[in-house]
Amino acid sequence: MWFSGVWQDGTVGELFSSVVKEWDWKVLGLLYEDTDESRGKSVCHFTLESIYTSFTQKPHHERFEPKISNFTQLLMKFHDKARSEC
C-alpha cells in the first residue's frame, strides 16, 4: 500500500531487517521527526513504524521536534539506550 509517498506494507521494515542481519547489529535505536501532531502521524513515523514492527526485540525509539529538541540531551539518552558496549 502506498501512503504519503511511503510504502506501508512492511517493505521498508523487511529491507532494514535484512541489513541489520547482514551486518549482525544487535542494538538499534530509531530517532524520527514528528512535528505536527494536529495533522496525525508524519511520513517519518509511518516509515519507522514498519521498521519497528519488523523486529521481535523492539528497538529504543523516540520522536523529536527539530525546533524544540535539545539534540545533545537526546543523543546522550540514545547513547545510554541504543548502543552496545564496545
Q: Where are the domains of the chain?
A: 2-81
Contacts of 19 (CB under 8 A, 6+ apart): none
Each residue's pLDDT tens digit, 9-25: 567 778 888 888 899 88
Cα–Cα distance measured from residue 83 to residue 43, given in angstroms and rounded to the nearest whole number: 26
Question: Model pTM?
Answer: 0.63
**pLDDT, mean of residues 24-35:** 80
51 secondary structure, DSSP code: H
Side-chain half-sphere CA neighbours of 58 within 13 A: 8
Is it the case that residue 40 has pLDDT exceeding 70? no
